[in-house]
Amino acid sequence: MDWLTEFHLANGHLIKPLVVGTLVSLACSVVGCFIILRRLSFLSDAIAHAMLAGVVGGYLLMKLLFGTEAHVGAMLLGALLAGVVTVGMVGFVTRVSRVKQDTAIGIMYTGIFALGAFAISMKSLGQYIHIDIYHFIVGSVISVGNSELWIAGLVTAFIVAVVMMFFRQLQLTSFDPVMAASIGVPVVAVDYLLTACTSLVVVSGVRIAGVILVVALVITPAASAYLLFDRLNRMIVAAAAIGISCFWAGFFLAHAAGASPGPSIVITGTAFFLATLVLAPKYGLLVDWNRRRRAVPQEIKEDVLGAILRSEQEWVPINDVVRHIASNKPKIRRAIMQLIRQDLLDQKDAGLRLTSKGRREGRRLLRAHRIWETYLDRMGTPANELHGQAHKLEHMNDEKTIDYLDDKLGHPLKDPHGSTIPEDFVDFEELSEVRSSLLREGFRAEIVRVEDAALRDRLMPGTKVSGGPRSADGIRWSLVTEDGSTIELSHDQADAVFVHRVESDPS
Amino acid sequence: MNSSQSASKPAIEVDNLTVSYGPVPALLDVSLAIPAGKLVGVIGPNGSGKSTLIKAILGFVKPDIGSVKILGEDVARVKGRVAYVPQRGSVDWDFPITVREVALMGRYGSKRWWQDMSRNDYALADRALQQVRMSEFSKRQIGQLSGGQQQRVFMARALAQDADILLLDEPFAGVDAATEGAILNVLTEARQKGKTMVVVHHDLETACEYFDLLILLKQRMFAFGSPTQVLEPELLSEVYEGKLRVFEALTNHTLEEVLQKGLVPGTGEGRPPR
């Protein structure tokens, strides 16, 4: 209790600002959650700017009609009115013209702000107005009085009550307005309610941070909480806590530095947001960066398989593999560990061997590599660049991609270096139907159907055939029937004959 | 509602419905009556008013003229009888909400605003998640799911709502074959329980096997009936403006043949690789 009394004696004048600030920060942050989820940040900004005209209007009205000075209630009402008019005008301009919303916002709130500034600066009217423009722009939480305390209390109580009572409605209309309407939630009324709440918190927030910065009180804590939590109720509680903490931190920072609290509170909020952005446990940059660093790129795993497949040794020493791949050692080791876990590699001491699954995957990659090489060669790529480019491209080894290239190239048998391109064993699944253009020499198959009418009398469904040699530079196919006769086919004709293989590859 | 009522009255009755967002109506003079317990597909080219029809049946868009009746009652007065599965692209997947919370939304309609969610509501939401086999993901944020799982979460929400009518906007768009099968299972199960379903669908190839009835829409209603009645070559080429020249092939081959060969363009990967 001691320090509390001491604090009170020394800083008694700070109690009202601190209470008002805490209440207002809470209300702003809570409403801010819905604002950012509905992408309405502009709304709070527009309302804040419109306030000047509203405050001036309310002030003048009371002064000229009743002769009272600086009536808080009238100014607040004027501000609310100006906010609603701005939002209405933005909607109106967007609806009736081709001008888009962002432009309409820019036009309307600067226009209404200017109206207020114009009135203040006019000699004839200005003499009646005693509004401190500086404080209006940067806020003046230090000088809050009892009326502000009351307003802050009422606004905050109202906001908290609304959010607690209508949480489901606010959540559902923000997330899925179509469903909300279908179960009878008055979507438009909820929208108005939220606009009213926004006006209230902005108007009370201006006292703390000023018209230009008040938007930060609304959206910054909410955005930080958004990066931290996956559930709306938690996000709201967190936003309130962050908003209040940043207010206190900023307030005392300003106090210590002898500066104005408004900007200091906003700076604290922004700093907190940036820290969250980097450090957030789930959506933070650091976690993301770390995750990406730890992840083993698919390319390295493919390179490992390729290196082992191409090696002649039965058990390939790990060091040989590492030497073959252009990447850092820990990454390659992680890749090897993952491959072993995926049952693609066997390890014995410091030696590695492909499992049958790994061999299949390796051959699939080898096929992709050689088909890409052939493709590059046909495109006129210089021979000394073939391997390097194909090495990059082979990581595009999606089956459909490779099948397309293979078909376009006329199902080549050898790559530009003269090595055999593995056959399309992925499509040669047992009983799966393939085009006969995929058959290599010696492959035995049974005809399933023939889509070329001209071939139907010679090749009947059920006939057993085997692949014959290609001729004319590989662009003529041949099929050998069981009685020994040979049928020559063009690429298109071979494509029109559907077969399935009857026995496995003789190799 | 009792069962005799549902048998006599159509589940959804649309009369001379016209909806416009500007000078060109999105829907013009559409009239149809969907009997209860049917799985109905809505097909038509892009921008043909399919989603608008769904939103009109939900009561989300107000008709310029005409009426929508749900189980014989005006749509404006029917609340929660119709469940809705939105198009995947229209959902904010970053929204701070978990799988279970989305399913629980299905129960919101059964509560007045001052009533809390009861234990029973949570149980119903959990059961709905179980039905679509998403229980193990109930604590996940919805953005951390695959496309098919996301679709299933919204199916669960519709099931938890226990509505008589389900409206689905493109549930099969951008999901893999396994998910497509899973969603179809959920739909056929729901049909067995007597639910009426209206599904916006873009794939003509599968339309004839998935649905009991088809609505062919392009601003106006061009056809409403069984798939064989609706997938008429002349009708389709009129609606798709001959862009699909291949529809001529329909006149020479049977429908099955054409669909099997995947000759219908714009419908994806019917063609086997050469």
Q: For B200-254, how does the pLDDT look when each residue is reduced to its tens digit (9 = 90+)? A: 998 887 888 889 999 999 988 989 998 888 888 888 878 887 655 444 444 444 5
Q: Cα–Cα distance between A175 and A34 in angstroms, integer?
A: 10
Which pLDDT score is estimated for A252?
Answer: 93
pLDDT value for A470 = 83
Q: Is the Cα dihedral A78, A80, A81, A85 positive or negative?
A: positive
- Kindly report the length of chain B: 274
Residue B151 contacts residue B162 (beta carbons within 8 Å): no
Residues contacting residue A286 through CB under 8 Å, at least 6 positions apart: A278, A279
- Interface touch A183/B114, C-beta < 8 Å: no
CB B190 within 8 A of CB B183: no
Integer-rounded Cα Rg, in Å, for chain A is 37
Give B116→chain A minimum CA distance, Å: 10
Helix (H, G, I), strand (E, B), or coil: what is residue A19?
helix
Do the Cβ atoms of B60 and A433 come within 8 Å? no
Q: Looking at chain A from residue 25 to 64, which residues have their Cβ under 8 Å from any Cβ of chain B? A: 37
- Give the type of residue at A294: R
DSSP letter assigned to residue A296 = P
Q: Is B96 on the interface with A (CB under 8 A)?
A: yes
Contact A395, A457 (CB under 8 A): no
Residue A415 has phi, psi (to 5 degrees) of -85, 175
Global pTM reads 0.73
Other Cβ atoms closer than 10 A to A323: 10
Q: What is the pLDDT of residue A72?
A: 67
| b/e code A212-247 from CB counts within 10 Å (16+ = b) | bbbbbbbbbbbbbbbbbbbbbeebbbbbbebbbbbb
**How many other C-beta atoms lie within 10 A of the C-beta of residue B234?**
10
Pairwise CA distance, residues B140 & B11, whole Å: 35
Amino acid, single-letter form, for residue B52: T
Residue of A313, A320, A382 whose CA lies nearest to A354: A313
Return d(Cα A254, Cα B66) in angstroms, integer: 64
B198 with B40: CB under 8 angstroms? yes
- Which residues does chain A have within 8 Å of residue B79's beta carbon, measured at their own beta carbons? 182-184
A325 to each of A330, A405, A496, how far by Cα in Å? Answer: 12, 26, 43
Helices (H), A342-464: 356-378, 383-393, 399-408
Interfacial B residues in 139-158 facing A (CB < 8 Å): 141, 157
Check CB contact under 8 Å for B59 and A400.
no
A407 reaches B (C-beta below 8 A): yes
Residue A452 touches chain B, beta carbons under 8 Å: no
For A494, which DSSP code?
A: H
The residue in chain A having the minimum alpha-carbon distance to the alpha carbon of residue B143 is A230
Predicted local confidence at residue B243, as pLDDT: 58
Judged by a CB distance cut-off of 8 A, whether residue B89 touches chain A is no
Residue A472, token pair as written in the block:
């004319």
The token duo for B14 is 């649309």
Give me the residues paired with residue A351 across strands.
Answer: A317, A348
DSSP per-residue codes, A252-283: HHHHHHT--HHHHHHHHHHHHHHHHHHH-TTT
Which of A177, A231, A403 is closest, CB to CB, to B96? A231
Pairing mode of beta strands B220-225, B213-218: antiparallel
Q: What is the pLDDT along chain A (507 residues), one digit of tens a residue?
A: 567 677 666 777 788 899 999 999 999 999 999 999 998 888 788 888 888 888 888 877 877 787 776 666 777 778 778 877 888 888 888 888 888 888 888 898 889 889 888 888 887 776 777 777 777 777 888 888 888 899 899 999 999 999 999 999 999 999 999 899 888 899 889 988 998 898 889 888 888 888 888 999 999 999 999 999 999 999 999 999 999 999 999 999 998 998 889 999 999 999 999 999 999 998 889 998 888 877 777 778 888 888 888 887 888 888 888 888 877 788 888 888 888 888 888 888 888 888 888 888 888 888 888 889 899 988 888 888 888 888 888 888 888 888 888 888 888 888 888 888 888 877 777 677 888 888 888 888 888 888 887 777 778 888 888 888 887 777 888 888 878 788 888 888 888 888 888 775 444
Strands B82-85 and B65-70, by their bridges, are unpaired
Q: Confirm or reject contact between B272 and chain A (CB < 8 A).
A: yes
- The encoded tokens of residue B37 equal 């317990």
Round to whole Å and give the CA distance between A4 and A88: 48
Other CB atoms within 10 Å distance of the CB of residue A469: 14
> Cβ contact (<8 Å) for B80 and A166?
no
Smallest Cβ–Cβ distance between B60 and the set A182, A226, A495 belongs to A182
Q: Mapped to the 3 state alphabet, what secondary structure does chain B carry?
A: CCHHHHHHCCCEEEEEEEEECCCCEEEEEEEEEECCCCEEEEECCCCCCHHHHHHHHHCCCCCCEEEEEECCEEHHHCCCCEEEECCHHHCCCCCCCEHHHHHHHCCHHHCCCCCCCCHHHHHHHHHHHHHCCCHHHCCCEHHHCCHHHHHHHHHHHHHHHCCCEEEEECCCCCCCHHHHHHHHHHHHHHHHCCCEEEEECCCHHHHHHHCCEEEEEECEEEEEECHHHHCCHHHHHHHCCCCCCCHHHHHHCCHHHHHHHCCCCCCCCCCCCC
How confident is the model at residue A280, as a pLDDT? 92
CA angle B154, B157, B160 (to 5 degrees): 155
Cβ-based neighbour number of residue A484 at 10 Å: 6
Instruction: Check residue A98 and report its DSSP letter.
Output: S
Q: What are phi and psi of B86, to 5 degrees?
A: -70, 165
Which pLDDT does position B190 carry in this prediction?
A: 85
* Chain position carrying tokens 């416009």: B20
Higher pLDDT pick, B5 / A347:
A347
Query: What's the confidence (pLDDT) of residue A298?
Result: 75
* CA–CA distance, B104 with B39 (Å, rounded to integer): 25
Tokens of A271: 């700093």
Length of chain A: 507
> In angstroms, rounded to a whole number, what is the distance separating the alpha carbons of residues B149 and B137?
9
* Chain A residues within 8 A of B95 when measuring between CB atoms: 37, 174-175, 232
- Amino acid letter, residue A244: I
Compute the mean pLDDT over every residue in chain B, rounded to the nearest whole number: 82
pLDDT of residue A46: 83
Would you call A414 an interface residue with chain B, using a CB distance cutoff of 8 Å? no
Q: Which of A171, A184, A404 sits opposite B109 (nearest CB)?
A: A184
The position carrying tokens 């009561």 is B59
Which pLDDT score is estimated for B4?
44
> Each residue of A10-42: b (16+ CB within 10 Å) or e?
eeeebebbbebbbbbbbbbbbbbbbbbbbebbb
CA B183 – CA A498 distance, rounded (Å) = 33
Q: How far is it, in rounded angstroms, from Cα B54 to Cα A304? A: 53
Please give the pLDDT value at position A399: 80
Share of chain B above pLDDT 70, in %: 85
